[in-house]
Copies of this chain bind each other. A is one copy, B any other.
């Protein structure tokens, strides 16, 4: 940490800061500049936030952290990158992983039609929402436990492991029993109670970035799961909230190469939520692969205009099959396979 003092600080005040820094078990280096004096603090910075409180002193201008605060998620921990096994399917290797399926499970027929479609086109994992976080309490909230059962059955039928969103820590046992990968949605990206409980299971977790989560905070959310003992975390960029209203969200593909530098965890991209518009899904899926993503999450529905949620962003199975062909071509161009 670098403690920047205000101009005209007295020697007593500098001494005060040094004393407080040392009480927190850091070594203090005083550096007297032309306009400011700064105190550089040397010690175990990560996980230690006490120094920041020096900003409460009237003669401290600001406290600048030198290190990023994630530890277990940092690239240095596993420079070769993590590979996460989801019911026999690996995420994080040279081969891209495609997760596909409807936004919400709506009926046996619908989820089976979707499962057939995505299986045929070559997806590796089947997704579908049974518990749905909806902005409005009056909107369809998902088929809940029944939906989870239908998804599990559909996955077995087409022999694809399943991924589905958990919203309430209370449901963890149910999800661990029936799902292969548990998704944490954008609205729960900083629901620390839920994250901590997911750290105590072994099932892989698909952690979506929150709508206003900075990348460093995103990795700190992963750190909640990792630090409780579950190493099986996959990150998912799904668009952030900006001033732009032409698209539902702003898919932040900068996040892909930057996260790959910062962390060993696999990074996948969800262009369905990231754009909110079906005609943009394929170009942005290709862009994600070109940017270095380890996989994709694509919403596919047999009949989008009759969907009970997120109709405008879901692809028909035919279009998804075309997307997969284009993805294979771009994957090849960047040294990956599908």
Copies in the complex: 4
Once A64-B64, A330-B330 are accepted as A-B contacts, the answer to whether A139 and B47 lie under 8 Å apart by CB is yes
The 8 Å CB contact of A240, one of B188, B220, B242, is B242
**A243 CA / B302 CA spacing, docked (Å):** 33
Asked if A311 is an interface residue, CB under 8 A from chain B, the answer is yes
- Residue pair B46, A138 in contact (C-beta under 8 Å): yes
Chain A residues 281-338 with CB under 8 Å of chain B are 283-284, 286-292, 304-309, 311-312, 314, 326, 329-330, 332-334
Closest B residue to A131 by beta carbon equals B193
- Using a CB-CB cutoff of 8 Å, which residues 68-94 of chain A contact chain B? 69, 71, 76
Q: Are B254 and A254 in contact (CB under 8 A)?
A: no
A44 at the interface (CB under 8 A from B): yes
Determine the chain B residues whose CB is within 8 A of the CB of A329 once the complex forms. Answer: 333-334
Instruction: Check: A20 CB closer than 8 A to any chain B CB.
Output: yes
B53 adjacent to A304 (CB under 8 Å): yes
Q: Which residue of B lies closest to A189 (CB)?
A: B187
Complex CA gap A327/B14 in Å reads 35
A110 at the interface (CB under 8 A from B): no
Question: Given B212, B245, B253, which contacts A211 in the complex, CB threshold below 8 Å?
Answer: B212
A49 and B261 CA atoms in complex are apart in Å by 26
The reply on A173 being an interface residue by CB < 8 A is: no
Q: Which residues of B have CB within 8 Å of A220?
A: 135-137
Q: Would A34 and B45 be within 8 Å (CB), given that A57-B305, A311-B53 are in contact?
A: yes
Whether A246 lies near B169 (C-beta < 8 A) is no
A250 in contact (CB, < 8 A): yes
Interface 9-residue window, one of A35-43, A117-125, A174-182? A35-43
A7: nearest chain-B partner, CB-CB: B76
Contact partner of A38 (CB less than 8 A), chosen from B40, B43, B261, is B40
Assign chain A's interface to a size class.
35 or more
Asked if A190 is an interface residue, CB under 8 A from chain B, the answer is yes
Q: How far is the CA of A7 from the CA of B67 in the complex (A)?
A: 11
Q: Are A258 and B240 in contact (CB under 8 A)?
A: no
Q: Which residues of B contact A42 (CB under 8 A)?
A: 31-34
Q: How far is the CA of A312 from the CA of B252 in the complex (A)?
A: 20
> Quick one: CB contact mask for A191-211 with B, threshold 8 Å, 1 for yes?
111001000000000000011
Q: Which of A192, A245, A254, A261 has the most CB of B within 10 A?
A: A254
Q: Chain B residues near A210 (CB, 8 Å)?
A: 212
Q: Does A156 reach chain B (CB closer than 8 Å)? A: no
Whether A31 pairs with B29 at a CB distance below 8 angstroms is: yes
Please report A residues at the B interface, Cβ cutoff 8 Å. 2, 4, 7, 20, 29, 31-36, 38, 40, 42-50, 52-57, 64, 66-67, 69, 71, 76, 133-140, 167-170, 187-188, 190-193, 196, 210-212, 214-217, 220, 223-224, 227-228, 240-247, 250-258, 261, 274-275, 277-280, 283-284, 286-292, 304-309, 311-312, 314, 326, 329-330, 332-334
The 10 listed contacts between A and B (C-beta, < 8 Å) are A2-B2, A4-B66, A36-B66, A52-B312, A64-B66, A137-B228, A170-B193, A246-B254, A251-B254, A254-B280
